[in-house]
Structure 1
Amino acid sequence: MTIKDLQKLLFEYEDKKYGDFGAKLIPGFPREKFIGIRAPEYKNILKRIKGDEVIPVFLSTLPHTYHEENCLHVALINKIKDFDECVAALEKFIPYIDNWAVNDGVNPVCFKKHRDELIGLVQKWISSEATYTRRCGMKILMANYLDEDFKPEYLDLPADLRSDEYYVNMMTAWLFAEALVKQWDTSVKYIEGHKLDDWTHNKTIQKACESFRVPNERKEYLRSLRVITTIRSL
């Protein structure tokens, strides 16, 4: 199979109405960049190309033409079992992540067994000035370090971020809202101490209050910690 053959295979799963829908969810991207492939179909695509020699060629051929090629790229990275190989593939791909939908699919299975080696890389990615490198780092932090491997200091770097990028700040809010679910005693101190910028602070509270996993009494307390912002006239 060649790259062209792979593209033809992707178009076998084309759903034009879903492509229209997907394009609306990612502002600024031209409609022609979307094939329109529903998420469950990637399992079928992965089965059809399993073991094919096109995979390493595809992973090394960047940038891709279509949004769905990027989604497939992430799905292939997520399945890489060797940690070093997975990291190398992800670091090569990260500069080409250009929207939240591709970014938030990153969740390699092998990372769960290599958290000690991974955390330094996660912190490096979060420290990047590139929007989706930073968002990717926080997404991986959220997926792997809020449970048994949690350390309070892991929240310091995201809390210190100051960005004008909506998709960075939204990811920070999502991370802290999830931390309020899983690590309340530590994470609530960041809200009480107003460690986040005003917008992210309030968005974190909003997202936590929308979660059914946060008890009502904690929601009421979080609402009392909202920051009232004012727009000053010039």
Structure 2
Amino acid sequence: KKMTPVQKTAFLQEKPHLYYEEDLLHVRLLNELRDPQEARSAAEDFLCACTSWAITDGLSFRYLSDEDLLSMASDFLQNENEYAVRLGLLWILKRAPKRPDARQWVDLALQAKGQNDTKQLIDIKGWMLCEVMIYKPDLAWSILEDPAISRDVRLRAIAKCVESLRISNDDKEKLRALRKKLKEAKR
């Protein structure tokens, strides 16, 4: 809070940081940005030096509109950097499930691969589907029952949903039955 604008600018240009706490401060300063182009440039620049999922997960750009952030997310999903892909998925997870055009964004997120479908990307896709289940259950069910969607992603989504306090017990029972069906189909 005591940093001047000049100090903030100088700090944001110093990368990579030596300490984890400096990365956290960097993300905190980036989250204050209000200009979409500046935010995009700063995020791309920072991701080149990022080495922790915990750090990227803190980058929310809360002052950007849904349209600006989701547009940036779409571009990040095409990136080679796994942190950029995860960040794009996270932004979709946080902003898309409540929107009327949620299906478009969820489909885009489910297609994202990064260099490969790592455990971290599978986990965040499952988390995203859990959020969709909370706000748009019909959409979530259509995705969870679709055999074209990765089995691992569907199982992770089911696990997140079953753990959630925001999902009804009736839906949890149906989800457990679907999980059993998916596991038996692998045998």
TM-score (structure 2 length as normaliser): 0.88
- 8 Å Cα contact 1:146/1:179 also seen in 2: yes
Q: Distance in 1 between matches of 2:112 and 2:68?
A: 23
User: What is the identity, as a one-letter code, of the residue corresponding to 1:87?
Assistant: R
The alignment status of 1:48 with 2:2, answered yes or no, reads yes
Deviates more, 1:118-127 or 1:215-224: 118-127
Structure 1, unmatched stretches of 5+, are: 1-46
Take 2:32 and 2:143, find their aligned partners in 1: how far apart are those partners?
35
- Equivalent residues of 1:177, 1:204 under 8 A apart: yes
Shift of 1:52: 4.5
CA distance in structure 1 between the aligned counterparts of 2:49 and 2:12, rounded to whole angstroms: 12
- Partner Cα separation in structure 2 for residue 230 and residue 195 of structure 1: 14
CA contact 1:146–1:183 (8 Å) conserved in 2: yes
Pair 1:124-2:78 in alignment: no
| Structure 2: runs of 5+ lacking an equivalent | none
Residues 127 and 52 of structure 1: CA distance in aligned 2, closer, same or farther (over 3 Å):
closer
Q: Percent identity between the aligned chains?
A: 26
Q: Choose 1 or 2 for highest CA Rg.
A: 1
Shift of 1:154: 0.9
Off by >4 Å, runs of 4+ in structure 1: 229-232
- Cα distance, 1:143 vs structure 2: 1.4
Describe the shift of the 1:54–1:179 C-alpha distance in structure 2 as closer, same or farther (beyond 3 A).
same
CA displacement at 1:230 relative to structure 2? 8.6
Q: State the structure with bigger RCO (CA 8 A, min sep 6), 1 or 2.
A: 2
Which residue identity does 2:6 align to in structure 1?
E
Map of 1:86 onto structure 2:
39
Q: Measure, in 1, the Cα distance between the counterparts of 2:111 and 2:184.
A: 20
Q: How many residues align?
A: 183
Matched, 1:136 2:87: yes
**Structure 1 vs Structure 2 CA RMSD:** 2.1
Which amino acid in structure 1 is aligned with residue 2 of structure 2? R
